[in-house]
């Protein structure tokens, strides 16, 4: 049980207590403990005794006992009771942007809404807007958030999808030798709609039998066939397709099940398409497909139908940016603000990775929610950076590793940057980012950004789209 997992359970308990109208002091106790433990970086909570936990800021005897119980069992009785008394649909409302436990309680208790479908209907018929403390503006925000949740349903980030795919292939390899990941995962798409796995076999029936014995797989028989198993993995809504492929067709099907429709439909000089050459020709490898079509080879990651053939007119496949091309990283947070590791730990690890520099860009002072650095903390951090850089230079005079002094400066409401000019001038670079006042008109928001970009101290514009994968849409996509 990691520290973040323990903190998450404490935060959930506080939310549920607030939802059920519990004693404010009890709610505050859990919230304060979660707040301070989220900042705790000096050890693993699971390895600490109750006596050691009590010594931590924000942790009393009762909370310490709960943490011990969480470590042992993964939960504790009070949380379990709260969960049992909370409909699953109400729990799902915590994912809606703009409403917290108190507003969710109003929706649940006064309108009897206990699922997202009923909430959407209540917004559409105007019932939510009529409730005291909510109103039409919040009603529209709820509808927008629900639309986004619907759109993202059944999708996984690439990293999670790879883990799920790995669990499946691990089981399949007990019975089959040749297994390939295709589709979104092979293209390294940032968001995965369907996990596609190809299994080379002369016996589709054996594959079906094997899949039926894997306990965590749930088949959707209506959309499956003797050659393609379709369903999902327990606790994951993402679609899974496992396809039985004849040995002589493995290269063809791997290509066809990987490339996007636009890539497959790309017209060739021979008057056909990429799909035609991939589907009908007998193939030993994927390079043959492109050769027979008179086209340059395109790596799987680029088979998106997004201008890859035009790119290939000027560049070769081995000219792609790879890990070895990375020299350093610039947008990073340390324990000076809301990061998980110290400046020294981050620098040493970056050096191990073969980087030449680490650019630190902790939050600036206005970002109080993220423990942004006050002026005196900036001065302290710069002193530590200089000390570490001197040490790195002494350890490797010919090619010293270097920490760059940066900051992620909030772009204030009027477009100016955090800190006075003399402090801004002390940084090697500045990442300028918008974190607040996100409901401006398009004109005001644009002027705000332009002013920040024109600032002579601005080096990088931070997260300009505002997107969080599967959590928050791009700013440009919002109503």
Same domain, 131 and 167: no
Q: Are 195 and 161 in contact (CB under 8 A)?
A: yes
DSSP, collapsed to helix, strand or coil, labels residue 36 as helix
Closest CA to 113 of 134, 79, 90: 90
Contacts (Cβ under 8 Å, ≥6 apart) of 295: 266, 268, 274, 309, 312
Range of the domain at 160: 156-317
CATH number at residue 384: 3.20.20.140
Contact residues for 209 (Cβ-Cβ < 8 A; gap 6+):
none
Q: Count of domains in the chain?
A: 3
Query: Which pLDDT value is given to residue 262?
Result: 95
Look at residues 279, 300, 317 and tell me which one is the last residue of a structural domain: 317
204 phi and psi, to 5 degrees? -55, -30
> Dihedral sign, CA of 250, 251, 257, 261?
negative
Cα-flanking dihedrals φ and ψ of residue 194, to 5°?
A: -140, 130
**179 vs 197: CA distance, rounded Å:** 7
Q: Do residues 49 and 85 both lie within one domain?
A: yes
**Domain end point (choices 291, 317, 343):** 317
Q: What's the pLDDT at 230?
A: 94
pLDDT at 468: 67
Position 478 in a domain:
no
Whether the CB-CB separation of 271 and 282 falls below 8 Å is answered with no
In sequence order, what DSSP letters do the residues of 43-95 get, joined into one string? S-GGG--HHHHHTSTT--HHHHHHHHHHHHHSS-HHHHHHHHTS-HHHHHGGG
Task: Indicate which CATH number applies to the domain containing 42.
Answer: 1.10.150.110
Between CA 45 and CA 52 the distance in angstroms is: 9
- The answer to whether position 474 is within a domain reads no
| One pLDDT digit (tens) per residue for the chain, 479 residues | 888 899 999 999 999 999 999 999 999 999 999 998 988 877 889 999 999 999 999 999 999 999 999 999 999 999 999 999 998 889 888 888 778 899 999 999 888 888 888 888 888 888 888 888 888 888 888 888 888 777 766 788 888 899 999 999 999 999 999 999 999 999 999 889 899 999 999 999 999 999 999 999 999 999 999 999 999 888 777 899 999 999 999 999 999 999 999 999 999 988 899 999 999 877 889 999 999 899 999 999 999 999 999 999 999 888 888 888 999 999 999 999 988 889 999 999 999 999 999 999 999 999 887 889 999 999 999 999 999 999 999 999 999 999 999 999 999 999 999 999 999 999 999 999 998 887 788 899 899 999 999 999 999 999 887 766 665 555 545 44
Task: Measure Cα distances from 470 to 4, 144, 150, 293, 412 in Å.
Answer: 20, 14, 10, 37, 27
Residues 6+ away with beta carbon under 8 Å from 256: 264, 275, 278, 279
Same-domain status, 120 and 244: no
Q: Does 14 share its domain with 144?
A: yes
| 88, two tokens | 């699953």
Q: What is the CATH number of the domain that holds 248?
A: 3.30.460.10
The verdict on residue 479 lying in a domain is no
Residue 12 lies in a domain: yes
Tokens of 25: 């002091």
Which are the contacts of 403, defined by CB distance < 8 A and separation ≥ 6? Answer: 343, 347, 357, 358, 359, 360, 385, 388, 389, 392
User: Alpha-carbon torsion 261, 310, 474, 165, what sign?
Assistant: positive
pTM, entire model: 0.68
Is 370:337 a contact under the CB 8 Å cutoff?
Answer: yes
Q: Single out the residue in 276, 293, 317 at which a domain terminates.
A: 317
């Amino acid at each position: 049980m990691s520290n973040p997992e323990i903190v998450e359970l404490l935060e959930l308990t506080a939310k549920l207590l607030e939802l059920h109208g519990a004693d404010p002091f009890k709610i505050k106790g859990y919230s304060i403990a979660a707040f301070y433990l989220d900042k705790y970086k000096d050890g693993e909570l699971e390895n600490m005794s109750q006596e050691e936990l009590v010594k931590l800021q924000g942790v009393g005897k009762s909370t310490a006992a709960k943490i011990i119980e969480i470590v042992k069992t993964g939960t504790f009785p009070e949380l379990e009771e709260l969960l049992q008394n909370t409909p699953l649909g109400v729990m799902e409302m915590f994912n809606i942007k703009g409403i917290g436990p108190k507003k969710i309680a109003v929706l649940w208790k006064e309108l009897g809404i206990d699922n997202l479908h009923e909430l959407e209907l209540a917004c559409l018929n105007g019932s939510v807007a009529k409730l005291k403390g909510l109103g039409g503006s919040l009603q529209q925000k709820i509808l927008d958030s629900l639309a986004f949740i619907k759109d993202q349903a059944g999708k996984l980030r690439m990293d999670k999808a790879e883990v799920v795919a790995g669990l499946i292939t691990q089981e399949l390899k007990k019975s089959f030798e040749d297994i390939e990941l295709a589709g979104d995962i092979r293209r390294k798409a940032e968001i995965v709609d369907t996990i596609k796995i190809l299994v080379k076999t002369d016996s589709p029936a054996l594959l079906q039998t094997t899949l039926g014995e894997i306990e965590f797989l749930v088949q959707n028989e209506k959309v499956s066939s003797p050659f393609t198993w379709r369903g999902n993995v327990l606790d994951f809504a993402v679609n899974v397709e496992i396809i039985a492929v004849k040995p002589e067709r493995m290269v063809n099907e791997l290509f066809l099940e990987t490339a996007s429709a636009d890539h497959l439909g790309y017209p060739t000089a021979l008057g056909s398409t990429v799909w035609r050459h991939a589907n009908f020709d007998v193939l030993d490898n994927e390079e043959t497909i492109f050769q027979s079509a008179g086209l340059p080879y395109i790596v799987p990651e680029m088979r998106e139908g997004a201008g890859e053939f035009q790119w290939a007119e000027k560049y070769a496949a081995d000219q792609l940016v790879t890990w070895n091309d990375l020299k350093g990283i610039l947008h990073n947070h340390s324990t000076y603000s809301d990061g998980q590791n110290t400046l020294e730990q981050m620098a040493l690890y970056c050096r191990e990775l073969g980087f030449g520099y680490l650019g630190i860009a902790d939050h600036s002072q206005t970002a109080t929610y993220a423990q942004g650095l006050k002026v005196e903390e900036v001065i302290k951090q710069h002193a530590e950076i200089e000390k570490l850089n001197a040490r790195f230079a002494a350890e490797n005079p010919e090619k010293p590793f270097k920490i760059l002094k940066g900051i992620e400066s909030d772009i204030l409401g009027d477009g100016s940057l955090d800190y006075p000019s003399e402090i801004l001038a002390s940084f090697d670079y500045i990442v300028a980012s918008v974190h607040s006042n996100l409901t401006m008109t398009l004109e005001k928001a644009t002027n705000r950004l332009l002013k920040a970009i024109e600032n002579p101290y601005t080096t990088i514009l931070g997260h300009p789209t505002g997107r969080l994968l599967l959590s928050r849409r791009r700013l440009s996509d919002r109503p």
